[in-house]
């Protein structure tokens, strides 16, 4: 670093409260919103930020970290000796190869491009493998470099407008698969390159289903960037729905399903914003779409289906921080009906969050264990799960501490 470089504000030895204020401001979050998310008063937040109150105990620190979407706990605490990743999981061993394939621009090639039908068949098998695999990132990470290369080649060698549009659809769908692999890994810029390239390819494809999937993933990326990006998430979601809705009467099940998934995404963002009425209104609208789909239908990318709506209800309640309602929805949902192992694990994590909100830490840890059994690579990269495990590792109950510690070791958060 040059000697005249100015260090960032979070690199200075500043107090916890100052760090909290900087991170809150960067997220575009008001004190009122943060106070509501962590269950404290606005004056409490102000006193912590102003240094009148000392750093709270670990459970509250973890709740603040969750609300602010802190990727590493040291960003908030300032303790660089104990770096604990929260919303960024460990870098997967296959991330360098996937990154290299995404970043490559092969202007020439001595290979013949595969047909679009061949690419589409490989993508179908890739999604099937992902849903069936407990180590889904390993499985997908092994497939992606070849898929990216071949889909790029198919676009470059397309000889007609229709062939090029079909190849762009396959390329966009490949980037969608990439986003599932890259999410929650320590390379945010790579994630956004994939999101943007996937959307550009989808627009070039002029295919409604491909456009819907790319928009669904872009909305998630915006929402996960924090409250300052909720409007961008809503914009892409609602604009895509306006485009799709006139097509729905004659649309395939896949197009109708992506429209339903987008309706739920609008509800998810509303729940993050704390707007319960809007969140449940969109959930009801998504349910209406799901009920018109075949009973056994399951969207290969979004998991949208009749079976997933119970899981979506749990997510809405949890994001609204409604503990009792979350548990009520947990009881009503049927996790066994979800055929995808990673999606079932994600649902189990949402269940655990509900139990934690309702003051049932034993049930939360037991449910996280079920998530681990379903798909270890889902829970290992999930910030909410990691936060619950860390919090329970400080429990007053020896049995809870032991159980949380064992799970932390399995997740790679603690040395064995």
Q: How far apart are CA 81 and CA 306, in angstroms?
A: 47
Q: What is the pLDDT of residue 4?
A: 36
Quick one: 9-77 is in which CATH superfamily?
lambda repressor-like DNA-binding domains (1.10.260.40)
Rounded to whole angstroms, the Cα distance separating 299 from 302 reads 6
**Comparing 138-147, 149-158, 183-192, which segment has the lowest mean pLDDT?**
183-192
Alpha-carbon distance 305 to 338, whole Å? 9
pLDDT tens string 240-271: 999 999 999 999 999 999 999 999 999 999 99
pLDDT band per the 50, 70, 90 thresholds, residue 357: very high
- Whole-number Å distance between alpha carbons of 162 and 171: 14
Sequence spans of domains, the chain: 9-77, 90-206, 338-416
Phi, psi dihedral angles at 72 (to 5 degrees): -135, 130
Question: What is the pTM assigned to this prediction?
Answer: 0.82
């Amino acid at each position: 670093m040059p000697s005249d470089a100015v260090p960032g504000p979070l690199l200075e030895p500043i107090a916890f409260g100052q760090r909290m204020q900087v991170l809150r401001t960067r997220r575009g979050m008001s004190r009122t919103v943060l106070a509501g998310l962590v269950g404290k008063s606005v004056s409490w937040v102000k006193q912590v930020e102003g240094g009148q109150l000392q750093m709270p105990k670990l459970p509250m620190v973890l709740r603040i970290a969750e609300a602010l979407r802190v990727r590493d706990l040291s960003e908030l605490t300032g303790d660089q000796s104990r770096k604990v990743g929260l919303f960024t999981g460990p870098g997967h061993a296959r991330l360098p190869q996937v990154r290299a394939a995404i970043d490559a621009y092969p202007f020439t090639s001595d290979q013949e491009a595969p047909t679009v039908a061949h690419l589409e068949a490989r993508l179908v098998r890739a999604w099937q493998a992902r849903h069936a695999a407990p180590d889904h990132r390993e499985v997908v990470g092994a497939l992606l470099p070849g898929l990216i290369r071949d889909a790029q080649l198919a676009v470059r060698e397309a000889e007609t407008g229709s062939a090029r549009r079909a190849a762009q659809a396959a390329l966009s769908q490949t980037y969608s698969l990439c986003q599932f692999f890259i999410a929650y890994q320590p390379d945010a810029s790579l994630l956004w390159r994939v999101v943007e390239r996937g959307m550009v390819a989808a627009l070039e494809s002029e295919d409604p289903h491909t456009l819907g999937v790319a928009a669904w993933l872009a909305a998630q990326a915006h929402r996960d960037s924090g409250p300052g990006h909720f409007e961008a998430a809503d914009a892409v979601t609602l604009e895509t729905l306006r485009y799709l809705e006139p097509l729905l009467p004659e649309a395939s099940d896949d197009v109708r399903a992506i429209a339903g998934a987008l309706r739920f995404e609008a509800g998810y963002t509303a729940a993050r914003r704390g707007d319960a009425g809007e969140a449940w209104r969109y959930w009801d609208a998504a349910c209406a779409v799901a009920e018109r789909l075949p009973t056994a239908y399951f969207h290969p990318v979004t998991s949208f289906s009749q079976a997933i709506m119970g899981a979506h209800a749990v997510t809405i309640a949890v994001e609204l921080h409604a503990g009792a309602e979350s548990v009520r929805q947990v009881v009503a949902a049927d996790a066994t009906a979800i055929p995808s192992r990673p999606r079932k694990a994600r649902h189990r994590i949402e269940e655990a969050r509900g139990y934690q909100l309702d003051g049932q830490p034993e049930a939360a840890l037991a449910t996280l264990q079920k998530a681990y059994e379903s798909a270890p690579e889902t829970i290992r990269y999930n910030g909410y799960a990691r936060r619950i495990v860390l919090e329970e590792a400080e429990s007053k109950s020896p049995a809870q501490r032991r159980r949380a510690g064992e799970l932390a070791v399995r997740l790679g958060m603690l040395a064995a």
